[in-house]
Structure 1
Amino acid sequence: MSFDALSFSPSDLAEPGPDQRWSTWPETSPTERGPLPHPDWIITESAALDTELGIVKTGKEAEVFLIERAVPGDPSRSCVLAAKRYRTSAHRDFTRSTQYVEGRRTRSMRDERALGKKSTYGRELAATNWAFAEFEALRRLYVEGAPVPYPVQIHNDEILMEFVGHGITAAPRLAQIRADAAETALLFEQVVEAMHVFAHAGFAHGDLSPYNILIHKGRVVVIDVPQIVDLAANPSGLDLLHRDCNNVTTWFARHGAHVDAESLFAELVAEVF
């Protein structure tokens, strides 16, 4: 579907058509929106329409869709967003969650018990907790200056964020990049810088790899942070940080960079403590 086909005038569309809905921005509160100031490209008009353009990524816990948010009849008012939707309890797998969520607080003892028993309510709560954890992490990291997508809003179990790519084509993952030695060294410097920003904010990514680092216009963008780890509160925090270091340095070493996982780990620990 081309963007020309997604240009509407008020007379063309009285109600949302197939694969469309009214913008969910008006349904969100200020705490469910990205940090201020909002970028100019964000569409906040109540009359805007969200049009689903296709799926970007599938996973065990969530799927990422491509959405165009546009004001009908005004071609200058549109943007493309990534919509990350956490799966329903019947179709998701949070088997990895135990180690990551240690140290996280829940709203009440009732919620804590429901999560522990994995009741229907507990499974639904788990999805919401992961969605809010990712959204809040993106808000915090964006403010800290980390290279992450701008988090536009969260609505129920759906996070809308900046789409990293050109047009409607997603940026390639680090694992897909073919770079020479000089370019590889520069990319490694950027990844290390991003890990320092995370550590300075008190976090480890927890699942960092060449598959959740995008390369856009020569710059790295870190994605997929629902499992982000609080290094002070989580007993496994340093172990997960060390694993991030190993994952990153192993890939770069295979591609000719001179790296050392233990030195990087020591730098990041010093950043935290």
Structure 2
Amino acid sequence: MPRFPEAPKPALIHAAAGRGGRSDVWSADDERRPARRTRVGREDLEGYYPTAVDDADQLGLSDVVPHDPTQPHHDQPDPTQPDPTQPGPGQRWSTWRSVAKGARGPEPLPEWVVTRDAALDTELGILKTGKEADAFLVERAVPEGAGPASDAPDLALDQAATRCLLVAKRYRSLEHGQFHRGSEYTEGRTVRRTRDQRAMEDRKSAWGRAVSATQWADAEFVALREAWQAGAPVPYPVQIDGTEVLMEFIGTEETDELGRTQAVAAPRLTRVRPSDDLLESYWDQLTHGMSVLARLGLAHGDLSPYNILAHGERLVIIDLPQVVDLAANPFSSDVLLRDCRTVSDWFIARGLDVDPDALFADLLAQAF
């Protein structure tokens, strides 16, 4: 049955003909003119079709507020409000899936790493500025109501992390960097593609400058991967994307009396005053980390109390972009000896009897 019943034939009004044509509208004196058309009532229509105000009472709609045309419709987004489905200021979608597999951290993946596609990276502030890079604090978190964790196949669904704090270390271009001792560390260092190696030797070309700008980030990420897998006390490297290295945040989150949570980075070793027992434990942890690097054929290259974090009773070695290949770099012995003497001087100044030359000899023996 059609929604509207057909009108009686006599009630139909024929349309006028085109310009200059004969009109089929009946005149007042025409005997053929039918009686006045009867108005079609609501009861003649199919179903109930409320049109009067009284019908609202019958339907229970008397309390409905009429729509104000000056206000945005409830189905339309308010252009003055941020879109909850899009990243806001200082945010981006997680880049975990957008990087190549080889640009992610080593297996086994720690349970705290967030791998969800729905996660947002929010920049929380700057942690440290350096000669060649700046470190930023980044929160990677899955917003509430983002759905099931079916987009995190790296971990079991019941173990998929939803929030973690990361350090985003972003390297500057060669024009804006302040690190001028590169040749001492890059001597003997190679890259995977010979085209990139040739470009690095020609700093005047745009491609050469671009490759040189990323070599520090690549060197640190690779060194962190190898060191972490070998058991050295270094931050876990989450991923690398161009000149940005994302790694584990070493620190804690503290809540003040007002209920506000704040991330507190672990202090550098130069700022702590450990007890005698803890000082000796720190030395054992540090020499263990240096030994792991030596067995990998590497020296830190710039090891000092400023590049070591004291996270409670745990030491963590950071800043590894200038790692030196002990076999290929002709300056490797000098660099390693400098590392040994720099860290030993700090421990000796605090009363621990250590021998930097003995440490140097032991590391060389492990390397070769």
What TM-score comes out, normalization by structure 1 length? 0.92
What pairs with 1:37-116 in structure 2 (closer than 5 Å)?
A: 37-73=108-144, 77-116=162-201
Query: Unpaired segments of 5 or more residues in structure 1?
Result: 1-10
What's 2:102 paired with?
31
* Structure 1 counterpart of 2:245: 159
Where does structure 2 lack aligned partners over 5 or more consecutive residues?
A: 1-81, 147-160, 254-262
Q: Is 1:253 paired with 2:367? A: no
SS at match of 1:26: coil
Structure 2 distance, partners of 1:90, 1:101, is 18
1:15-47 deviations in Å (ceiling 9; x for gaps) = 100100011111012100000121111111111
Distance apart, 1:106 and its partner CA: 2.9
Deviations 1:190-236 (A, max 9, x none): 11111111111111101000000001120110000000011111111
User: 1:1-273 alignment to 2 at 5 Å?
Assistant: 13-73=84-144, 77-119=162-204, 120-167=206-253, 168-273=263-368
Q: Distance in 2 between matches of 1:108 and 1:82?
A: 28
Q: Counterpart amino acid of 1:188?
A: W
- Work out which structure has the larger RCO, using CA pairs closer than 8 Å and 6 or more positions apart in sequence: 1
Task: Supply the distance in 1 between the matched residues of 2:139 and 2:363 (Cα, whole angstroms).
Answer: 38
Partner of 1:4: none
For the residues of structure 1 that align with 2:193 and 2:241, how far apart are their CA atoms?
Answer: 21
Deviation at 1:140, TM superposition (A): 0.4
Alignment RMSD: 1.7
Q: Distance in 2 between the 1:77 and 1:106 partners? A: 35
Q: What whole-Å deviation, never above 9, does each CA across 1:81-111 have from its counterpart, x for those lacking one?
A: 0000011333113411101011111345543
> Displacement, 1:123?
2.2
Q: Flag the structure with larger Rg.
A: 2
Q: Residue in 1 aligned with 2:77?
A: none
Give me the whole-angstrom Cα distance separating, in 2, the residues matched to 1:138 and 1:110: 25
**Cα deviations by residue, 1:28-80 (Å, 9 ceiling, x for unpaired):** 12100000121111111111100000000111210000000000106961100
Percent of aligned positions that are identical: 53
Separation of aligned partners in 1, 2:175 and 2:337? 33
Q: Distance in 1 between matches of 2:290 and 2:329?
A: 17
CA deviation vs aligned residue, 1:233-257 (integer Å, no higher than 9, x gap): 1111111111100001111111111
Q: Which moved more, 1:178-187 or 1:108-117?
A: 108-117
Deviation for aligned residue 1:14:
1.3
Give runs of ≥4 in structure 1 deviating > 6 Å: none
